[in-house]
Every structure is written in C-alpha cells, then in structure tokens.
C-alpha cells in the first residue's frame, strides 16, 4: 500500500530536489562577489600550524596563510582527519544509484519503498534524468552483486512500486556512495572547525542533510567570527555543544523513521536500525 505525504499538510512546507552543481556554483558566485578568493579544481595537499594560524599548500604549489580554517570537505573530513580528529560511524549504509532518461518529466514526487534488505527511492532530476537508488549495507550489496547492473536489476525486480517507474532501458550512469550516519568526535579545535557532512553526516532517509549542513555553516561562521575578532575559543566550544545536541536529536528521529517499518524485524538490515543503541 502506498501512502502519500502531501506538502500542503506539512508544517515544514514542501520538499526540495536540489540541483547540487547549480547550487554550488551559486554559493561560489555569492562568495566571490563578496571578495572571497575562489580556487576551482584545486585540492589541499598539505596543512601546517604556524605561530599566527595555518599554512595550506594547494595543488599547483600555491601556499595560503589563514588565521582559521573550516573543513567543508564532506564525509571525507580531510582536514579534520589530518589534524587528528576521529570519525565515528554509526552504520555502514551505502547507496547504489543508477540514472536513466526521465520518461515522465511531469511528476516531481519522490517515491520511497522499504524492502527486506534495505530501502529504495526514485525521483526525477534536472537534465531530464531519473535516479533510482537502493540503500543497503555493504555485505548485502556484495552478496547481491549490486555493483553490476544485472544484480541491481534483480534487486529492483523484488520491489512492488519502484520497478514500475524505473525505465526498462539500460542505465546511462551509475554511482556508489557512502550514506551512513557518522560524526566527528571533536568537530572543532584550536583555530579550526568542521562544517556540514565533515562534522555530521546523515542518513538520506532523514531528509535533513542539506538543511543541517547549511545550519552548521551559519553556526560555524559565528564561532569563527568570535575567534578572529576576540581571540576567544568560547564560540568554538559552543559550536561543539550545538553540534552534539543536534546529533542526539537526529539519532532519535532516525530511530523513529526506521521503527515505522515492522514487516521484517528478523532481517539484519532492519535489526541494526531499530535496536535502542542504533
């Protein structure tokens, strides 16, 4: 049985399908318009502490000086890890996505379907494409050979509703991405701070990843401003408390979401996510 959550009945308004590439360009343009130097196609090769802050060497040999640094490198948390921060993973969820030409471009809704070994979602995207993704654990994925289109199609055939929407033609692209819940034990330190997925990465089922990432960026800006203008670590300590509080609330919501599915309590995927310590 399908159940529809219509936006008109939601106090939080309608959901969004974000064109991430377009959004990232917009953010970069807004930053550049305010005097921020943008380095595209560059990666941080090295980072070191100095008496006044930090030295960063980026690809191409360019060196940058900074009094404070923010790690917004996503789940990789590249800078935070280099500085000794530890990532704690709560589950190994992976997303196995495939993309298709969108046959029905008029339906903007996202469809989610639970199955014994995980859950699926499909939605139309910009560029007249449709994505269909199976969210499951790596051991299940290996057993079902989800890295191959044949294995992915076999898993798709076990769905009741998603299979009727996904085109029968071969996919035009594929993507495998870690999607589990993870956080940094220390999301900030002396002169540095982690934001977005680098600080806390969320299960896509929560639908909270983007908004929480933006919120953490705003909170981090206040903490950095405190540090730069007053030399005070108080803002960084407050940021750590807020991130931990937000993480606790997220875990409670995540447990509630997964606990709504009661058909397969004996399947390993669901057992991991409905136990009290999950």
- Report the DSSP pairing between strands 87-89 and 182-184: antiparallel
Distance CA 140, CA 272 (A): 13
- Is 268's pLDDT higher than 60? yes
Q: Is residue 215 part of a domain?
A: yes
Local confidence band at 12 (pLDDT 50, 70, 90 cut-offs): low
Residues 103 and 141 grouped into a single domain: yes
Reduced 3-state DSSP string for 90-124: CCCCEEEEEEEECCCCCCCCCEEEEECCEEEEEEE
Q: Dump pLDDT digits (tens) for 43-83.
A: 888 899 998 899 999 988 889 999 999 999 999 999 999 99
Q: Quick check: helix, strand or coil at residue 184?
A: strand
Residues 102 and 234 grouped into a single domain: no
Residues 124 and 254 grouped into a single domain: no
Q: Dump pLDDT digits (tens) for 155-169.
A: 999 999 999 999 999
How many domains does the chain fold into?
A: 2
Q: Is residue 149 part of a domain?
A: yes
- Whichever domain contains 133, its CATH number is 3.30.9.100
Residues 192 and 77 grouped into a single domain: yes
Residues 171 and 116 grouped into a single domain: yes
Distance CA 225, CA 8 (A): 39
Q: At a CB cut-off of 8 Å and minimum separation 6, what does 226 contact? A: 232, 234, 235, 236
Residues 195 and 79 grouped into a single domain: yes
Residues 206 and 249 grouped into a single domain: yes
- Number of residues that make up the chain: 278
Residues 168 and 193 grouped into a single domain: no
Residues 153 and 216 grouped into a single domain: no
Last residue of a domain, one of 178, 200, 225: 178
Q: Is residue 210 part of a domain?
A: yes
- Whichever domain contains 212, its CATH number is 3.50.50.60
Residue 273, H or E segment: helix 268-274
Model-level pTM? 0.87
| Structural domain of 243 | 72-84+181-259
Q: What percent of the chain clears pLDDT 70, i.e. is strictly above it?
A: 92
Q: Dump pLDDT digits (tens) for 190-236.
A: 889 999 999 999 999 887 778 888 899 999 999 999 989 988 888 89
Local confidence band at 40 (pLDDT 50, 70, 90 cut-offs): confident
Last residue of a domain, one of 139, 161, 178: 178
Q: Is residue 198 within 8 Å of 184, Cβ to Cβ?
A: yes
Q: Is residue 193 part of a domain?
A: yes
Q: Dump pLDDT digits (tens) for 105-136.
A: 667 778 999 999 999 999 988 878 899 999 99
Q: Is residue 225 part of a domain?
A: yes
Q: Whose CA is closest to 102, among 49, 167, 53?
A: 167
Per-chain mean pLDDT for the chain: 89
Quick one: average pLDDT of 168-182?
Answer: 94
Last residue of a domain, one of 159, 178, 197: 178
Q: At a CB cut-off of 8 Å and minimum separation 6, what does 198 contact? A: 71, 72, 73, 74, 75, 76, 77, 78, 79, 80, 184
Q: Is residue 63 within 8 Å of 39, Cβ to Cβ?
A: no
Q: Whose CA is closest to 71, among 81, 62, 63?
A: 81
Q: Whose CA is closest to 98, among 161, 162, 143?
A: 162
Residues 195 and 140 grouped into a single domain: no
Q: At a CB cut-off of 8 Å and minimum separation 6, what does 268 contact? A: 137, 140
pLDDT of residue 275: 73
Q: Dump pLDDT digits (tens) for 83-111.
A: 999 999 989 999 999 999 987 766 777 89
- Is 7's pLDDT higher than 60? no
Q: Is residue 141 part of a domain?
A: yes
Q: Is residue 108 part of a domain?
A: yes
Q: Is residue 277 part of a domain?
A: no
Residues 248 and 195 grouped into a single domain: yes
Residues 116 and 131 grouped into a single domain: yes
């Amino acid at each position: 049985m399908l159940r529809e959550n219509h936006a008109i009945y939601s106090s939080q308004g309608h959901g969004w399908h974000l064109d991430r590439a377009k959004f990232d360009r917009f953010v970069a343009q807004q930053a550049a318009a305010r005097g921020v130097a943008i380095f595209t196609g560059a990666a941080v090769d090295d980072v070191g502490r100095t008496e006044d802050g930090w030295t960063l060497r980026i690809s191409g040999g360019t060196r940058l000086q900074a009094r404070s640094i923010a790690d917004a490198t996503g789940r990789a948390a590249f800078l935070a890890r280099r500085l000794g921060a530890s990532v704690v993973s709560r589950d190994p969820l992976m997303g196995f996505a495939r993309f298709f030409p969108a046959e029905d471009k008029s339906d903007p809704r996202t469809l989610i379907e639970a199955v014994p070994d995980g859950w699926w979602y499909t939605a139309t995207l910009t560029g007249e494409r449709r994505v269909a993704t199976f969210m499951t654990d790596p051991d299940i994925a290996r057993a079902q050979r989800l890295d191959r289109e044949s294995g992915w199609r076999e898993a798709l055939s076990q769905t009741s509703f998603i299979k009727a929407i996904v085109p029968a033609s071969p996919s035009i692209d594929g993507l495998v991405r870690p999607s589990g819940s993870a956080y940094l034990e220390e999301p900030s330190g002396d002169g540095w701070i982690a934001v977005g997925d680098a600080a806390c990465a969320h299960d896509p089922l929560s639908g909270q990843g983007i908004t929480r990432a933006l919120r953490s960026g705003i909170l981090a800006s206040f903490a950095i401003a405190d540090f730069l203008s007053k030399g005070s670590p108080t803002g960084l300590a407050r940021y750590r408390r807020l991130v931990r509080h937000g993480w606790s609330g997220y875990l409670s919501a995540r447990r509630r979401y997964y606990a709504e599915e009661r058909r397969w309590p004996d399947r390993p995927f669901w057992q991991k996510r409905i136990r009290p310590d999950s």
